[in-house]
Amino acid sequence: MNLALMYTTTFIIQFIIAMEMNFIGPLAPYLSEYFGIRDSQVILFNLGYSAVGILVPLFGVWADRYGNKRLISYSLLLFFTGSIISGFAPSALVFALGRILIGLGYFSLSGSLMSYVSEFIDYRHRGKASGILRTAFGIALLGSPLYTAFMTGHFGNLISIYLPVSILAAIAFIMLRRLPETEILEDSQLNIREFIAILRHPRTVKVLVSLFLVITAPVNMFNFLGIYLSSEFSLTQGQIGISYSLIAAGTVLGILAATLFSDRIGKLTFTRIAFTIMVFGLLPIPYVKSVLLIVILAFTFAFGLDGGWTSYQAFSSEIQPGKRGTFLGLFYTINAATVTLFSLIGPVLYDLGGLKLTTGVGVGSSLIALIILFRLSRIPA
């Protein structure tokens, strides 16, 4: 097994799907003008993108039954096709359709990448493996706002943003062909009894509920922060891009901290600490009147969020080791369902109470998640 090739390939895939995922928030003011829609409606571009993620349990079963590598290959093709469609989109509707295909690729890849790596890496070292994938995620979040600001400023179209991402997807597809397939479980199938069996474990239910609650915070904050900075502080697209990149530096440092320390002090313990930091960073954001303070607080929020997520993902990979692909598929289905829900009601919340209301919902849900996490039992390493 060529571990260097495996890490490089999965790193590239994680990087490009995270780059695209982070396009919408910083680009919200630009997309609003580009397609002639209201600022708060830009989040609706996430609706179809995330809704298809509800199908991820099916992908998880396919990963167990036909192999993770095969599923990753098909998902990359979907991502590539969706990126080309979105880049050349002449209207908001076509752009949204392209993002549906991207969403199919994203949510399938998000679950299958960690599942694939987990087949070859021992649990004791899986925190570092998860850290490598999350590092790609963090670098993407760090560079994506600057990248989109540069491309829109110099070229003024979407194809300049999406074409490089499509090329990287094609390169990753070629590299993937040289990697081995995972163990195939021919008896794996999608049925209600299998999911009921997984959900019978109290610890499994706690993990999935806490996941929903944690994801609520970043969805309701980051999707509207660009609009807030534009409307309240009159920041330009370039300045918004710089702000998002500075905030994403917190993501990179959080991932690095999780990579270095989660295996040492315990994945669950590190998750609890990181998500606590996340809450303290989020709470004051809509009440401060300085862009610098907002960026510092959002930096702290991102540090806790992505440091905790990195460790929690590694922790959760051993919840159902016999059905890892299926469970991680369910794990990301909750992610998709959360994004879908708040893509629907988020614009209403923002129109009603602005960033104060959307972040308030995130703080409340995160506090409940922390209570669940502190009552969650450990998984022996």
Provide the token pair at 367: 């506090």
The yes-or-no verdict on residue 381 having pLDDT over 70 is no
Rounded to the nearest 10 degrees, how much is the dihedral formed by the CA atoms of 272, 362, 110, 94?
-170
How far from chain centre, in Å, is Cα 336?
9
- Find out whether 86 and 158 touch, Cβ atoms under 8 Å: yes
**Range picked from 16-25, 223-232, 274-283 for highest mean pLDDT:** 274-283
Q: Region 323-329: what's the mean pLDDT?
A: 66
User: pLDDT at residue 191 above 70?
Assistant: no
Phi and psi, residue 184, nearest 5°:
-100, 125
Query: Are 229 and 285 in contact, with CB atoms under 8 Å apart?
Result: no
Q: How many residues in the chain?
A: 381
CA 111, chain centre distance (Å)? 10
Please state which CATH number belongs to domain 3-179+190-374.
1.20.1250.20
| Rounded Cα–Cα distance for residues 228 and 221 (Å) | 10
Closest CA to 80 of 27, 144, 12, 26: 12
Q: If you ran DSSP here, which 8-state letter would residue 242 be given?
A: H
Q: Buried b / exposed e across 326-361, counting CB within 10 Å, b at 16+?
A: bbbbbbbbbbbbbbbbbbeebbebbeeebbebbbbb
Residue 379 has pLDDT above 50, yes or no: no
Angle at 71 between CA 67 and CA 76, to 5 degrees: 150
- Chain segment 91-119, per-residue pLDDT in tens: 999 999 999 999 888 877 877 887 788 77
Other beta carbons within 10 Å of 196: 9
Q: How many CB atoms lie within 10 A of CB 19?
A: 23
- Rounded CA gap, 121 and 312, in Å? 17
Q: Is the model's pLDDT at 297 over the cut of 80?
A: yes
What residues does each domain of the chain span? 3-179+190-374
- Select from 380, 322, 377, 381 the least CA-distant residue to 207: 377
Helix axes 291-316, 237-265, angle to 10 degrees: 40
